[in-house]
């Protein structure tokens, strides 16, 4: 089913997402492990390549959204291909293939009214709830020396909820999540291609959103990313 979605897209695949990367997230949607989905280019605002003019704000439509949450995520852009192979990729193997790290916002959604009860197979067919995605500017090169698992992240809705999170909420370490995705793709004969962006799952309890909200995710020295949601 995901392959059919990619084939119907008007643009090349932007990258991949990993869902259910925390035990709380897995329990919430009744799955036992992470799920992979495709990021479709027409659903992405790439602020690393197309920054908004000064004083303007990136904006996404709200639409009919069943999940109604925004997530703060670490995303990696690959610098070279990781093709399928017999042996597993280690974390070091995968990091050596990464070009840049980015702060990101995911606004997931599902075609199911009650996505918490349908099970892993249906959620994978539902593209792991991939929907809108905002990629921030690349983090400074020093990110490789930072303990990403211990790195704090703050998410907030202007005039509303504010939550704190930490990198280790993503499978214990975002780099482990990235290696999981590379090996998951390898196992089904798919290359994790150079230029693809992989977003690794939310670092904090997702923020409840409504039309018109302004969402900001602050990754400290690694950057900040913001988006305004349309009034409908």
Percentage of the chain surpassing pLDDT 90?
81
| Confidence class for position 165, pLDDT limits 50, 70, 90 | very high
The CATH architecture of the domain made up of 2-229 is Alpha-Beta Complex (3.90)
Answering whether pTM is above 0.85, one says: yes
Selected residue with higher pLDDT from 211 and 114? 211
Q: What is the pLDDT, as a whole number, of residue 57?
A: 80
Listed by start position, the domains of the chain span: 2-229
| Confidence class for position 142, pLDDT limits 50, 70, 90 | very high
pLDDT at position 16 over 70: yes
26's tokens: 């897995």
Q: How far apart are CA 146 and CA 141, in angstroms?
A: 10
| Confidence class for position 145, pLDDT limits 50, 70, 90 | very high
Q: Which helix (H) or strand (E) holds 197?
A: strand 197-202
- Map residue 128 onto helix, strand or coil: helix
pLDDT at position 225 over 70: yes
For strands 224-229 and 214-218, give the pairing.
Answer: antiparallel
**Are the CB atoms for 114 and 216 separated by under 8 Å?**
no
| Confidence class for position 221, pLDDT limits 50, 70, 90 | very high
């Amino acid at each position: 089913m995901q392959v059919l979605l990619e084939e119907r897209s008007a643009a090349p695949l932007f990258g991949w997402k990993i869902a259910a990367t925390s035990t709380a997230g897995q329990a919430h949607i009744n799955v036992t492990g992470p799920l992979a989905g495709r990021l479709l280019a027409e659903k992405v605002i790439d602020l690393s390549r197309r920054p908004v003019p000064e004083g303007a704000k990136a904006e996404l439509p709200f639409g009919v959204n069943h999940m109604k949450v925004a997530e703060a995520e670490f995303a990696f852009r690959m610098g070279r291909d990781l093709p399928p192979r017999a042996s597993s990729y280690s974390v070091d193997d995968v990091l050596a293939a990464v070009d840049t790290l980015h702060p990101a916002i995911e606004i997931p959604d599902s075609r199911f009214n009650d996505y918490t009860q349908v099970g892993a197979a249906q959620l994978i067919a539902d593209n792991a709830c991939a929907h809108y995605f905002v990629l921030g500017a690349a983090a400074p090169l020093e990110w490789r020396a930072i303990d990403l698992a211990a790195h704090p992240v703050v998410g907030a809705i202007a005039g509303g909820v504010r939550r704190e999170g930490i990198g280790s909420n993503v499978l214990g370490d975002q780099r482990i999540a990235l290696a999981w995705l590379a090996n998951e793709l390898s196992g089904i004969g798919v290359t994790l291609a150079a230029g693809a962006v992989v977003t690794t799952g939310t670092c904090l309890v997702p923020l409840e959103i409504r039309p018109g909200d302004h969402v900001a995710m602050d990754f400290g020295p690694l950057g900040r990313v913001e988006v305004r949601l349309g009034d409908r």
